[in-house]
């Protein structure tokens, strides 16, 4: 048929084998090969057909190298129509993963078997798309409306046993999948089994109110995204229209999603995440150090979360605290977190127990003698961190990787506190560390290549998304927060309210507005950081005055029940506080600021373009390797809306020239220093003219 698809007859069964490594993606060659094989088999000596894949997986989706290119025939929907129309029974034999178009291919076959370890799913929504080859029409006919909505709107795969329960597959087999599938296809033929087309199955009975319920839920869970709502419309069409008419709805809405800026943004992130894992100039064959045990200094919320991240990946952890009481508190936090994971259904009780057993505690640095990686997670006090590393230098074995979890501090200075700076690296986890996916891997001046390669690889082992950063104050993410929070505070003192600033950013798509973020993180965090800096490095005093006043009043945010907002002690629900408005107005008057009405779009542009302008500096300085790395940081670590693609992609989508002109406008209105356009922004804007 082609190099990607082969066809042969074993006994009485025709076997179509897809071989397109590494994941048997539905490339043009695969589509052509499948079409040719199914067509040729209609008139040969075979009695039934099996579609099976070589390698480690069934068809795992579309060919990402074809993204953005004009589609070529045969189109997948037409191919699947041909498979379903076969006059001979076709069995799809699934192992590994059948995802997206791969699952749609399997659903177009008449019967499906799978190994128990297989997974199936329709993850298109994660790229701002929906299944475009009948997935929204065949799935509800086989699995029912609710299961179809769950599967397609979440984009998450399910295991073969669950797929069997739902009717998406018909049989789980053991042993040799190819052999068992051939035997089953022969058996089906001998028994006179029907040519069973998914498209002709009736949709099982369902609650008509499901659709509105899903629309309401998705409006909150996937705020601003069009693909999830379109998926609901497609599944609803499957219940109200013929299969053919349902396909027309699916195709129309699929093409709308494909042409949208949202899908373009999410596809950008798909590639940016993969690119971020690559280090320019670091050879692929760079050796990696073994990491079979980990030590963590500091058993607070961050240290405990980091410990769970490694234990959840099966790596033993030793947690070090200053005394028995502190250690007991740290381990109790971990116990509570595992209990919460079980309660939420994220871990089975036995899984949580196994993971918890991998975490032990000690108050003696001698317990770290055999550890391969030690992560310091103590307070953000540079003197304390340097003292900790000096102790690690003598306590840890040669070749152990010494990592700091600092959010801001100079990793070069921390490394200089040891006699082995080549073994030192920054691993900036985000809180809660056992949940948040981002990991900033901070490469210090003397960090060895094998240390860097090890940590980038290890991030994937513990299911984190790694992005390499150079050394500067705040690295990539927190450095960019400075203009973001500065503008949020300036908008407050110039005339906005906390509610207006937060609502403007949340309506735009941010997971949480900046004022609520400050309350959640603790107003004292920024206050202490500013107090530790020389006065001339603390930034615009107008931007820090209100939070400083609140901190000095003991209004530290959620943890004290009051910050910029008041918080219900039971629900933590926030509410506006007139006392804060009075403080803002008083401090504005002290600065001689005449407060004004600020449009929401000005708030959004000031905060987002502040991010973009600083991001341009970070790329130009080499702190980030590429703009896409910044996008990955902000989507995975800071609640930036995935459907906007990250701040740098958003700037591209808006138009760099437009961003530059707006920054110049803000420079004229608000201050030459704070809003000076980054040289790279000037360059890109000039090139666009």
Task: Tell me the catalytic residues.
Answer: 428
Which burial class, exposed, middle or buried, applies to 150 when counting CB atoms under 10 A from its CB (0-12, 13-18, 19+)?
A: middle
Q: Please tell me the distance from the alpha carbon of residue 466 to that of residue 458, in angstroms, as a whole number.
A: 9
Report the relative pairing of strands 89-94 and 97-99 from DSSP bridges.
Answer: unpaired
Element (H, E) at 8: strand 5-10
Which residue, among 206, 257, 251, has the nearest Cα to 228 in the 3D structure? 257
Alpha-helical regions (H) of 509-577: 514-521, 523-531, 541-552
DSSP 8-state symbol, 512: S
Largest CA distance in the chain: 91
Element (H, E) at 405: none
Q: Please tell me the distance from the alpha carbon of residue 496 to that of residue 499, in angstroms, as a whole number.
A: 8
Give the angle subtended at the CA of 366 by the CAs of 363 and 372, to the nearest 5°. Answer: 110
DSSP string, 117-128: T-EEE-GGGGGT
Which residue, among 312, 145, 342, 298, has the nearest Cα to 234 in the 3D structure? 145
Whether the link from the prior residue into 22 is cis, omega within 30° of 0, is yes
Report in angstroms the alpha-carbon separations of 47 from 198, 495, 635. Answer: 21, 77, 52
Q: Please tell me the distance from the alpha carbon of residue 161 to that of residue 361, in angstroms, as a whole number.
A: 38
529: CB partners within 8 A, 6+ apart: 380, 408
667: CB partners within 8 A, 6+ apart: 675, 676, 677
Whether the link from the prior residue into 74 is cis, omega within 30° of 0, is yes
DSSP string, 210-225: HHHHHHHHHHHHTTT-
Contact 12, 48 (CB under 8 A): yes
Which residue, among 600, 614, 576, 611, has the nearest Cα to 508 in the 3D structure? 600
Contact 360, 370 (CB under 8 A): no
Q: Please tell me the distance from the alpha carbon of residue 660 to that of residue 686, in angstroms, as a whole number.
A: 9
């Amino acid at each position: 048929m082609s190099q990607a698809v082969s066809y042969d007859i074993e006994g009485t069964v025709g076997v179509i084998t897809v071989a397109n490594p590494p994941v048997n993606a539905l490339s043009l060659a695969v589509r052509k090969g499948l079409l040719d094989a199914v067509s040729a088999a209609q008139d040969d000596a075979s009695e039934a057909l099996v579609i099976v894949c070589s390698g480690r997986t069934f068809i795992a989706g579309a060919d990402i190298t074809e993204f953005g290119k004009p589609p070529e025939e045969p189109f997948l929907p037409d191919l699947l129509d041909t498979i379903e129309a076969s006059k001979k029974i076709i069995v799809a034999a699934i192992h590994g993963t059948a995802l997206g178009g791969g699952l749609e291919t399997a659903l177009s076959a008449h019967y499906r078997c799978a190994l128990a370890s297989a997974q199936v799913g329709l993850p298109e929504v994660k790229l701002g798309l929906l299944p475009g080859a009948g997935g929204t029409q065949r799935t509800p006919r086989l699995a029912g409306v609710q299961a179809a909505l769950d599967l397609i709107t979440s984009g998450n795969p399910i295991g073969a046993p669950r797929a069997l329960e739902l009717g998406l597959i018909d049989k789980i087999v053991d042993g040799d999948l190819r052999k068992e599938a051939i035997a089953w296809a022969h058996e089906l033929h001998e028994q006179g089994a029907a040519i069973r087309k998914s498209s002709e199955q009736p949709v099982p009975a369902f609650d008509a109110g499901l659709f509105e319920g899903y629309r309401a839920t998705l409006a909150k869970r996937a705020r601003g995204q069009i693909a999830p709502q379109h998926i609901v419309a497609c599944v609803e069409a499957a219940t109200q229209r013929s299969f053919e008419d349902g396909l027309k709805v699916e195709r129309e809405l699929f093409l709308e999603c494909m042409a949208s800026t949202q899908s373009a943004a999410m596809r950008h992130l798909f590639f940016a995440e993969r690119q971020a894992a690559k280090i320019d100039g670091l050879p692929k064959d760079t050796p990696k150090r073994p990491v079979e045990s980990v030590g963590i200094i500091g058993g607070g919320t961050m240290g405990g979360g980091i410990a769970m991240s490694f234990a959840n990946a099966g790596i033993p952890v030793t947690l070090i605290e200053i005394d028995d009481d502190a250690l007991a508190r740290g381990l109790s936090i971990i116990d509570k977190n595992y209990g919460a994971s079980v309660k939420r259904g994220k871990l089975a009780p036995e899984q949580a127990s196994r993971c918890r057993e991998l975490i032990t505690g000690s108050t003696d640095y001698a317990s770290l003698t055999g550890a391969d990686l030690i992560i310091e997670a103590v307070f953000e006090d540079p003197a304390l961190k340097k003292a900790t590393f000096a102790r690690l230098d003598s306590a840890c074995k040669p070749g152990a990787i010494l990592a700091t979890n600092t959010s801001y501090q100079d990793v070069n200075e921390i490394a200089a506190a040891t006699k082995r700076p080549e073994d030192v690296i920054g691993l900036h986890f985000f809180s809660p560390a056992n949940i948040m996916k981002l990991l900033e891997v901070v490469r210090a001046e003397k960090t060895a290549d094998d240390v860097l390669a090890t940590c980038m690889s290890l991030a994937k082992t513990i299911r984190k998304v790694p992005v390499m950063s150079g050394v500067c104050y705040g690295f990539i993410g927190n450095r960019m927060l400075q203009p973001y929070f500065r503008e949020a505070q300036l908008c407050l003192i110039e005339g906005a309210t906390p509610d207006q600033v937060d609502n403007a950013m949340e309506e735009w798509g941010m997971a949480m507005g900046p004022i609520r973020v400050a309350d959640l993180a603790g107003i004292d965090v920024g206050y202490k950081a500013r107090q530790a800096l020389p006065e001339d490095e603390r930034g615009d005093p107008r931007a820090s005055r209100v939070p400083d006043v609140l901190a000095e009043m003991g209004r530290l945010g959620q943890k004290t029940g009051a910050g910029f907002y008041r918080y219900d002690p039971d629900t933590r629900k926030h509410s506006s506080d007139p006392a804060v408005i009075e403080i803002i107005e008083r401090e504005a008057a002290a600065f001689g600021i005449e407060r004004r009405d600020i449009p929401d779009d000005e708030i959004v542009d000031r905060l987002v373009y502040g991010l973009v302008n600083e991001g341009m500096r970070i790329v130009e300085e080499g702190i980030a390797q590429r703009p896409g790395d910044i996008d990955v940081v902000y989507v995975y670590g800071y609640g930036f809306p995935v459907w906007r693609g990250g701040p740098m992609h958003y700037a591209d989508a808006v138009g760099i020239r437009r961003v530059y002109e707006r920054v110049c406008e803000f420079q004229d209105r608000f201050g030459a220093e704070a809003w000076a356009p980054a040289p790279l922004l000037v360059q890109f804007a000039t090139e666009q003219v």
